[in-house]
Amino acid sequence: MIAALPMYDRAETRGATDRLWALIARALQDQGVDAPATLIRDTDPWEIWQSPDLILAQTCGLPYRARLAPHVTLIATPDYALPGCPPGHYNSVIIARAADAPAGPSPAPHPAVNDPLSQSGWAALSVWAIESKLDLKTPLITGAHEASARAVVDGQADLAAIDAQTWRLLTRYAPWTANLTEIARTAPTPGLPLISAKTRDPEPIRKALHNALEALAPADRQMLDLQGFPIIPKAAYLAQPIPPAL
Assign residue 196 a region (left: φ > 0; alpha: ψ between -120 and 50; beta: otherwise): beta
CB neighbour list of residue 239: distance below 8 Å, 6 or more residues apart: none
CATH assignment, 2-82+190-238: 3.40.190.10
Backbone angles phi, psi at 118, to 5 degrees: -105, 125
Return mean pLDDT, the chain.
97
- Helices within 50-87 (DSSP H only): 61-63
Residue 89 pLDDT grade (very low, low, confident, very high; cuts 50, 70, 90): very high
> Taking residues 207-221, what's their average pLDDT?
98
- Residues forming beta bridges with residue 240, ordered by sequence position: none
pLDDT, tens only, 140-174: 999 999 999 999 999 999 999 999 999 999 999 99
Q: Is the pLDDT of residue 103 over 90?
A: no
Q: What CATH class is the domain 92-187? A: alpha beta
Instruction: Say yes or no: do domains 2-82+190-238 and 92-187 share a fold.
Output: yes
In tens, the pLDDT along 35-53 reads 999 999 999 999 999 999 9
| CB 65, CB 46: distance < 8 Å | no
Query: Would you kindly state where each structural domain of the chain is located, as residue ranges?
Result: 2-82+190-238, 92-187
Exposure string over 124-152, b if 16+ CB within 10 A, otherwise e: bbbbbbeeeebebeebbbbeebbebbbbb
Provide the residue type at 17 as one letter: T
Please report the pLDDT score of residue 101 as a whole number.
87
**pLDDT at position 104 over 90:** no
CA angle 18, 12, 124 (to 5 degrees): 95
Sheet strands side by side (includes 194-197): 2-4, 54-58, 194-197, 72-76
Q: Report percent pLDDT > 90 for the chain.
A: 97
